[in-house]
Amino acid sequence: MNDGDVAGVLRETMTVILRVGGPVLAVALAVGVVMSIVQAVTQINEPTLAFVPKVAAICGALILAGPFMFAALNDYARAMFDRLVVVGGG
């Protein structure tokens, strides 16, 4: 493996991290912002008011994006194992 191959693997790793973690983090951010606005408008400073909807939204995002996330991780793992065989065999 040369430097270009390592850079390509690192780039692919970062894109997989963004594809797997991005949807859940985006949902958590959106729900957190909405709940912060609701708490500011209503002046209710209850921590569970923000926690429960955020957990529910994250669970929903995991259920909806789960197959996509699994496919991305599965494809990445297969590619890495294929590269490992090529490097180890040659």
Residue 78 binned pLDDT confidence (cut-offs 50, 70, 90): very high
* Model pLDDT for residues 13-52, shown as the tens digit of each residue: 999 999 999 999 999 999 999 999 999 999 888 888 889 9
CB 35 within 8 A of CB 49: yes
**Residue 42 has which token pair?**
């209503």
**pTM for this model (two decimals):** 0.80
Whole-number Å distance between alpha carbons of 60 and 79: 29
Q: Residue 11 above 70 pLDDT? A: yes
| Average pLDDT value for the chain | 91
Q: How much is the CA Rg of the chain, to the nearest whole Å?
A: 19
- Which residue ranges make up each domain of the chain? 18-84
Instruction: Write down the pLDDT at residue 45.
Output: 83
